[in-house]
Structure 1
Amino acid sequence: MHYLGVIISLVFVVLVAKLLLKKYNPHAVLLLSGLAMLVISQILSYQMPSLENPTGFAGFDLFRYIKESFSETNAGVGLMIMSIGGFVAYIDKIGASEALVYVAMKPLKLLRKYPYIAASMVIPIGQLLFVAIPSAAGLSLLLMASLFPILVNLGVSRLSAVSVITAATAFGIGPASAISVSATTISEIPVITFFLHYQIPLVLPLSLSMMITYFFVNRYFDKKNNLIEIVEKTEEKILKVPIYYAIIPILPIILLIVFSKIFNLFKTPIILDTTTAMFISLFAALIFELIRTKKINNVLNSLQTFWNGMGNIFKTVVTLIITADIFAKGLISLGFIDGLLALAQNIGFGAIGIGVIMSIMIFLASMLMGSGNASFFAFGPLVPKIAKTLGVESSTIILPMQLSASMGRTVSPVAGVIIATAEIAKVTTIDIVKRNLIPLAVALAIMLMYHYI
């Protein structure tokens, strides 16, 4: 065991956490720290990660790691995530996301006499929307525009309303989620199988626990601080597109479920992958737009929104995956995983102990970074080696880690979703985090007990 390498890797983990907390660029921090660890590993003659085509010179091999990571990511998970980003940008452009939110919010108006029940109902409804609109900041802003006035009119405080809206993005699940796609790639499980058989059974009790905890936490704090307010009834927002546009955001999910091995509805199997489903749904959306507007030139020009969305996801999420992969390679080369496993075994931990430690670590990392993607992409790739050493399936460890990443973001004062909603609601980010911390901590504890015990 190279204890020096483990100590150095821990120093890098702490250093990276501090730099990210100070809002240094995460892509640069992860990339440079990963390369630095690889250099140290070379100097100390540690075992380096394998390369498909080494250059023959150790110095150049450092950059070959970046090249191969780009190639592997862009050919697989990167293209999938970019297609998702392009589709999300397009449905937002044509108003389909707004139509879906408009339809989903209708049931809440039936609970006028029970404002805190209505507020708690936002969580499962918002979670369903989050599966189809996998942008935490994007969905939250849509809900702030459409749902926030409704909740306030029902007698819920501004702080309680914004807390449940952000809580709706606490679980990044489904085939359109970047974290889910990465988790399925790591665990080598089909994305729709992972969604239906792994994520949903675990998220259902967590959503129920959050509904209950938010009901009591928000009611308690509102009464304690005398924050309950009732404002003049706000006029209902007019929908600018046909209501049937609400089907467009969920079309990829419908396609993936119908054409999957789960149901076997056809004699000759028809299996769709996520990327293909996104492109099919894009062209369906184009047809919807052509029927509505009858302006073929405008519809053709609108396709640029899709390409722009793909580009935006590449420069943010995909490049983050690549830089995080280099960071993970650096940790592995210094013996971080071997050290973690040795420590766990000496203490008496097995797969359960390691899984709990990794989940809590990612939860805290997301709080520091304000990004579930950054924390998961940094530590997720380490799972296969851990699982193989412990003799368990990768999915056993990866599932709670994946959920912990998005849960941690919901209690981060530097997360984009928290900052954006706090600005609109005219409350502080710290106040939102205080409301979210108890329900999310309870959900984290329930998740770890439910999954491992």
Structure 2
Amino acid sequence: MSTYLGIFISLFFIVIVARLLLKKHNPHAVLLVAGLLMLVIAQLLNYNLPALKNDTGFAGFNLFRYIKESFSKTNAGVGLMIMSIGGFVAYIDKIGASKKLVQVAMKPLKLFKKYPYIAASMVIPIGQVLFTAIPSAAGLGLLLMASLFPILVNLGVSKLSAVSVITAATAFGIGPASAITASATTITNIDTIVFFLDYQIPLVLPLSLSMMISYYFVNKYFDKKEKEKLKKVEVVIKVKEAEGEKEEKVEIKTPVIYALIPVLPILLLIVFSKIFDFFPIPITLDTTTAMFISLFVALLFELIRIKNIKKVMNSLQVFWNGMGNIFKTVVTLIITADIFAKGLISLGFIDGLISVAENAGFGAIGIGIVMTIMIFLASMLMGSGNASFFAFGPLIPKIAKSLGIESSSIILPMQLSASMGRTVSPVAGVLIATAEIAGVTTLQIVKRNLIPLTIALIIMLIYHYI
């Protein structure tokens, strides 16, 4: 009975939170308060709460210890990475590097001027290849926002169409570097490379193709329906005059080599990724380190160009300001979403859903389909593919054994659905971060992503189980 009570309470909070977010209440406050309330109720009902690294010794204080530990964990990891990317994006925009990339890229891409939605759809497989080397959805999303987003907008698609295909590129968490893949292979005792080549790629290829087709028609339909005004990327500066300020359009005079700066982090991460073996001694490079390397390359370029050390050093403030802006808008929302996810887990929402599926008497295929759909929905609610899969994954061997099947037969679609569900979550870090830069809302992106990802989910279930 307590299991079902936890599900009902969780569903009640989910409905309330969804209504408040749709009414445009502050998402940070809504998620934080809802998460804390669920943790309080879980304490009162004697549910098992998520473990704390350092217990305060008093249950009331422990609620706020969750916030503190979430801040520490996020800021030390994904938070710092997202802030460094946000600062880098702000800096390359300030020095004109992103605009120069647009100018250079537009020349060979003139062919797609007549077919902008084809160009947008091509981002999905290209981004997916990059995602295997850069296994951070938010990190890759922001890198593509810095490099590809302005190009797509200049080709003629709307901001929403551009950001939707960029987030879609992170829909499949595959490859040796993926945390979900590492967990799945540990559970199934399958070699990582074998799992990647023999299991993941054969299933992801048709799904990527279906998404390219569906995004082409969905984005074209919504752009036409919403009649968004497609604006060319313009560089605008404010010039002070006696009567006030006015805006003038100017062309940033930066060398062509500046076009390499926005894509430099991606190039570094690919060259030094675990997938390739270019060097006799293994060299590892994470996203945050790549951002700081690229930043100092950009500073060196600026020093050579303007030959003024003081001005170049002062320009670094743009980077810090960019980091601060991302922290107050994106990182804090990821932290509050984490508290919300902890609240759901503490009430037994995940365990309850699994129990319902088992008690319904489904066969192996039925359980596999139900589990895949549940983990998809859990990722939507929690905004994290990793969190939902790490909650479900360890339970697979037990379920598989009770059904007399191999764990690998049901874990692959579950693993993919975890990252697919994140792509249609309004509280996912990748959607929050890219939406902030694009100047749109996460719900607008979800609206674009929902149809193609639902189609891909259905195709995956049919292709894998039938």
Q: Which category describes the TM-score, using the shorter chain as reference length?
A: 0.7 to 0.9
Q: Partners of 1:252 and 1:448 in 2: how far apart?
A: 36
Q: Which amino acid aligns with 2:418?
A: M
Q: Partners of 1:163 and 1:314 in 2: how far apart?
A: 23
Give per-residue Cα distances to partners, 1:397-433, cap 9 Å, x unaligned: 4543334433566xxxx9998999899xxxxx99x99
CA distance 1:448–1:25, change in 2 (3 Å)? farther
Give SS of 1:168's match. Answer: helix
Give per-residue Cα distances to partners, 1:351-380, cap 9 Å, x unaligned: 4432223325656x6xxxxxxxxx514x75
Name which of 277, 284, 302 aligns with 1:264: 277
CA distance 1:168–1:383, change in 2 (3 Å)? closer
Contact between 2:142 and 2:433, CA under 8 Å: does it hold in 1? no
Match of 1:388 in 2: 394
Give SS of 2:10's match. Answer: helix
Q: Partners of 2:294 and 2:141 in 1: how far apart?
A: 14
Q: Which amino acid aligns with 1:119?
A: Y
Match of 2:117 in 1: 119
Give SS of 2:142's match. Answer: coil
Q: Which amino acid aligns with 1:383?
A: F
Give per-residue Cα distances to partners, 1:213-241, cap 9 Å, x unaligned: 46667889999x9x9xxxxxxxxx96642
Is 1:359 matched up with 2:376? yes
Q: Partners of 2:292 and 2:220 in 1: how far apart?
A: 44
Q: Partners of 1:101 and 1:200 in 2: how far apart?
A: 32
Q: Partners of 2:29 and 2:374 in 1: how far apart?
A: 26
Equivalent runs, 1:232-247 vs 2, <5 Å = 240-247=253-260
Match of 2:296 in 1: 283
Structure 2 unmatched ranges of 5 or more: 131-139, 184-191, 228-249, 398-406
Is 1:134 matched up with 2:142? yes
Match of 1:376 in 2: 383
Give SS of 2:342's match. Answer: helix
Tell me how many residue pairs correspond in the alignment: 400
Structure 1 unmatched ranges of 5 or more: 149-159, 228-236, 366-374, 424-428
CA distance 1:104–1:63, change in 2 (3 Å)? same
Give SS of 2:383's match. Answer: helix
Q: Which moved more, 1:265-274 or 1:352-361?
A: 352-361
Residue 253 of structure 1 deviates from its aligned partner by 1.7
Match of 1:328 in 2: 341
Residue 296 of structure 1 deviates from its aligned partner by 1.9
Equivalent runs, 1:308-327 vs 2, <5 Å = 308-327=321-340
Match of 1:306 in 2: 319
Percent identity over the alignment? Answer: 54
Give SS of 2:320's match. Answer: helix
- For normalisation by structure 2, the TM-score amounts to 0.70
Match of 1:92 in 2: 93
CA distance 1:92–1:443, change in 2 (3 Å)? farther
Cα RMSD after superposing both structures? 4.4
Is 1:341 matched up with 2:348? no
Match of 1:402 in 2: 419
Contact between 1:77 and 1:185, CA under 8 Å: does it hold in 2? no
Q: Partners of 1:222 and 1:383 in 2: how far apart?
A: 34
Match of 2:75 in 1: 74
Residue 52 of structure 1 deviates from its aligned partner by 1.9
CA distance 1:290–1:328, change in 2 (3 Å)? same
Contact between 1:97 and 1:249, CA under 8 Å: does it hold in 2? yes
Equivalent runs, 1:32-47 vs 2, <5 Å = 32-47=33-48
Q: Partners of 1:273 and 1:420 in 2: how far apart?
A: 22
Q: Partners of 2:439 and 2:24 in 1: how far apart?
A: 19
Contact between 2:89 and 2:146, CA under 8 Å: does it hold in 1? no
CA distance 1:65–1:407, change in 2 (3 Å)? closer
Q: Partners of 1:419 and 1:274 in 2: how far apart?
A: 20
Contact between 1:290 and 1:299, CA under 8 Å: does it hold in 2? yes
Q: Partners of 2:94 and 2:87 in 1: how far apart?
A: 11
Contact between 2:143 and 2:266, CA under 8 Å: does it hold in 1? no
CA distance 1:127–1:205, change in 2 (3 Å)? same
Q: Partners of 1:136 and 1:253 in 2: how far apart?
A: 9
Residue 447 of structure 1 deviates from its aligned partner by 5.3
Residue 255 of structure 1 deviates from its aligned partner by 1.3
Give per-residue Cα distances to partners, 1:40-61, cap 9 Å, x unaligned: 1111122222122211111111
Q: Partners of 1:201 and 1:437 in 2: how far apart?
A: 23
Contact between 1:400 and 1:448, CA under 8 Å: does it hold in 2? no
Match of 2:55 in 1: 54
Give SS of 1:169's match. Answer: helix
Match of 1:151 in 2: none
Residue 274 of structure 1 deviates from its aligned partner by 1.5
Give per-residue Cα distances to partners, 1:281-318, cap 9 Å, x unaligned: 11111112222222222211111111112212222222
CA distance 1:286–1:399, change in 2 (3 Å)? farther
Contact between 1:27 and 1:323, CA under 8 Å: does it hold in 2? yes
Give SS of 1:51's match. Answer: coil
Contact between 1:133 and 1:139, CA under 8 Å: does it hold in 2? no
Give per-residue Cα distances to partners, 1:130-180, cap 9 Å, x unaligned: 9766278877973576222xxxxxxxxxxx766753543341539xx9x99
Residue 20 of structure 1 deviates from its aligned partner by 0.9
Residue 104 of structure 1 deviates from its aligned partner by 3.1
Q: Which amino acid aligns with 2:106?
A: M
Match of 1:152 in 2: none
Equivalent runs, 1:102-117 vs 2, <5 Å = 102-110=103-111, 115=114, 117=115
Give per-residue Cα distances to partners, 1:3-31, cap 9 Å, x unaligned: 22221111111111111111111111111
- For normalisation by structure 1, the TM-score amounts to 0.72
Residue 96 of structure 1 deviates from its aligned partner by 1.9
Residue 264 of structure 1 deviates from its aligned partner by 2.1
Q: Which amino acid aligns with 1:169?
A: I
